[in-house]
Structure formats: structure tokens, C-alpha cells
């Protein structure tokens, strides 16, 4: 089981002593330079794992408030070409930029977090088919976190046919679909400003050991305000129970 945080809750040097994996968040808002990403890889201990979120230009439309963190705003004339996995040169360019950073940090997994506005429509399903059917993965896990009104059966079908890892918060969306690798993202029950109870962490450990037994690897990534403390508590619990 790989336990870590979504983002850096403390300085990188200290983080490396506590956890074996981190999910890079900067790549979602504005990917860093290739040189900076290589620096992160070089300074990390041997065996440390970087995963990362795909650039928002692939998944989110320009109406998303997260676009405010781009270094340059998207051209007004091209706004309809961004987001929702559209079959456009702009989305393809954003994927190439994401993949370059994945290569730099040697990431084994890339997370595509979708907004709730990316609903289960025929157009969106076709966009997923086209995008994931043509992307060069280079052996990486492609992790899809759908939100909104997606039906479980549709998620299972898409993940099976496109070879995607279904990402969920198990406290909100139930266990992940499929039988392969597991990627859990814990966003806090009821919101980001949340700290998990001991009983909830015990339930999470039971889920990983029993219902998800045999599925490898299992990533458990905390994404709440108490992410560092909760991840450390969960790691200690897992070790004690082992």
C-alpha cells in the first residue's frame, strides 16, 4: 500500500522522510518547466514515487475558476477548444506538456480529475473514447476520477474498454470499479476542511485489506487540510495492524 498526499503539506526534504509517494498538483494548474521537474526527481530519494494530475486544459473548460492560475489566459477565440477531452490541437498540446513532466519525474501514474460539469453525455463519452484511445501511455497507469452523474455501469464499461484505473474517494463514491490497480483520493467527508476519525481510518484499512485484496498497487492519497497528519496516522495504523 502506497500512502501519501496530494500536494506538499510540508517542505519536500521533510516530506521525503515521511512518505513514499506524492501526487503533484502544480501540473494541473500550470505545469512546471521540464528542468524544474527533473530537479525534483534528482533530489528525491531512490524509489520515491511521483504521480501527477493532468493539466486542466484537458479536463476542465475555461469557465472553471482554476484557469485563473494559468500564466497566460487562453485566447478568447479558442475557448471552445479547451477542456472536456475535446479532439482539438489545444487539448493534444496540453497532453504532450503533461506527458513531458511525467517523463521528467518518472511518474508511473497520471490522474485525470474531471469536474462535476463533465457529465455522462454522448459527446463526452465520445471525447473520452477518442482521447484515451489515441494517447501514448508509455506504460503508465491512466487514472480517471469522474464526478457528477456518471452511472456505475457506464464507468465500469469505459474503464474496462479504455484500460483506465477508476479513481474514487471511498467515503463518497464507494469502492473503485474494476479488478486491477487502485487509486484512492480522500477529499474529506463533507469538504476539504476535515480530519478523519480513528474509526474511519480503520474502515479504510479494512477496505484495502479485504474488499481490495489482491489488487496492486494500491495508492491511498489524502487531499484534505489535515492530509499530513491523517496520512501519518493511517500509515501507523496500517503498520500496527500488519
pLDDT in tens, 71-130: 999 999 999 999 999 999 999 999 999 999 999 999 999 999 999 999 999 999 999 999
pLDDT in tens, 148-205: 889 999 999 999 999 999 999 999 988 898 889 999 999 999 899 999 999 999 999 9
Superfamily of domain 2-241: Protein of unknown function UPF0759 (3.20.20.410)
Statement: residue 242 has pLDDT above 90: no
Which of 123, 128, 161 lies closest to 145 in space, CA to CA? 128
Statement: residue 143 has pLDDT above 90: yes
Domain chopping of the chain, boundaries: 2-241
pLDDT of residue 175: 84
* Burial (CB count <10 Å: 0-12, 13-18, 19+), residue 229: middle
Instruction: Give me the DSSP letters along 46-115.
Output: TT-EEEEEPPHHHHS-TTSGGGGGSSSPPPGGGGGGSSTT-SSHHHHHHHHHHHHHHHHHT-SEEEEEPP
Amino acid at each position: 500500500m502506497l500512502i501519501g498526499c496530494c500536494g506538499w503539506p510540508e517542505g519536500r526534504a521533510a516530506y521525503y522522510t515521511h512518505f513514499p509517494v506524492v501526487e503533484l498538483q502544480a501540473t494541473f494548474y500550470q505545469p512546471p518547466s521540464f528542468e524544474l521537474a527533473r530537479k525534483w526527481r534528482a533530489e528525491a530519494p531512490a524509489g520515491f514515487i511521483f504521480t501527477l494530475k493532468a493539466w486542466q486544459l484537458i479536463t476542465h473548460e475555461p469557465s472553471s475558476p482554476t484557469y485563473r492560475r494559468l500564466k497566460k489566459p487562453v485566447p478568447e477565440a479558442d475557448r471552445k477548444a479547451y477542456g472536456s477531452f475535446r479532439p482539438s490541437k489545444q487539448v493534444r498540446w496540453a497532453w504532450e506538456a503533461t506527458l513531458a513532466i511525467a517523463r521528467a519525474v518518472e511518474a508511473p501514474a497520471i490522474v485525470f480529475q474531471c469536474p462535476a460539469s463533465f457529465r455522462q453525455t454522448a459527446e463526452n463519452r465520445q471525447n473520452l473514447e477518442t482521447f484515451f484511445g489515441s494517447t501514448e501511455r508509455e506504460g503508465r497507469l491512466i487514472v480517471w476520477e469522474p464526478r457528477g452523474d456518471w452511472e456505475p455501469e457506464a464507468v465500469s464499461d469505459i474503464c474496462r474498454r479504455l484500460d483506465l484505473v477508476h479513481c474514487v474517494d471511498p467515503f463518497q463514491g464507494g469502492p473503485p470499479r474494476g479488478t486491477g490497480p487502485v487509486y484512492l483520493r480522500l477529499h474529506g467527508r463533507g469538504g476539504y476542511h476535515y480530519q478523519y476519525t480513528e474509526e474511519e481510518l480503520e474502515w479504510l484499512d479494512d477496505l484495502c485489506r479485504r474488499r481490495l485484496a489482491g489488487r496492486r498497487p494500491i495508492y491511498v492519497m489524502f487531499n484534505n487540510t489535515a492530509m499530513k497528519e491523517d496520512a501519518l496516522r493511517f500509515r501507523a495504523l496500517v503498520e500496527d495492524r500488519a
